Amino acid sequence: MAIYWINDNIQILSSLKLFKADSEFWGKMAMLAWWFGLVFDLIRILRTYKDVSGQVKFYSDFVKNNPEKKDTHKDHIANLKKQQKTAVLDIVKTIGDLFTATKGSGLADKIGLKWINDIWCGAGGSVSALIFLYQTYK
DSSP characters over 71-107: HHHHHHHHHHHHHHHHHHHHHHHHHHHHHHHHHHHTH
Sequence spans of domains, the chain:
30-137
What does each C-alpha distance from 61 to 5, 48, 53, 69, 116 come to in angstroms? 46, 20, 12, 11, 43
Specify whether the CB–CB gap between 3 and 33 falls below 8 A: yes
pLDDT tens track for 14-32: 888 888 888 888 888 998 9
Please give the Cα distance from 7 to 134 (Å, whole number): 30
Nearest CA-CA partner of 134 in 79, 93, 75: 93
Tell me what percent of the chain is helix, strand and coil, each rounded to the nearest 5.
85, 0, 15
pLDDT tens track for 91-131: 999 999 999 999 888 888 888 888 888 899 999 999 999 99
Percentage of the residues of the chain whose pLDDT score is greater than 90 = 55
- Enter the pTM of the model: 0.86
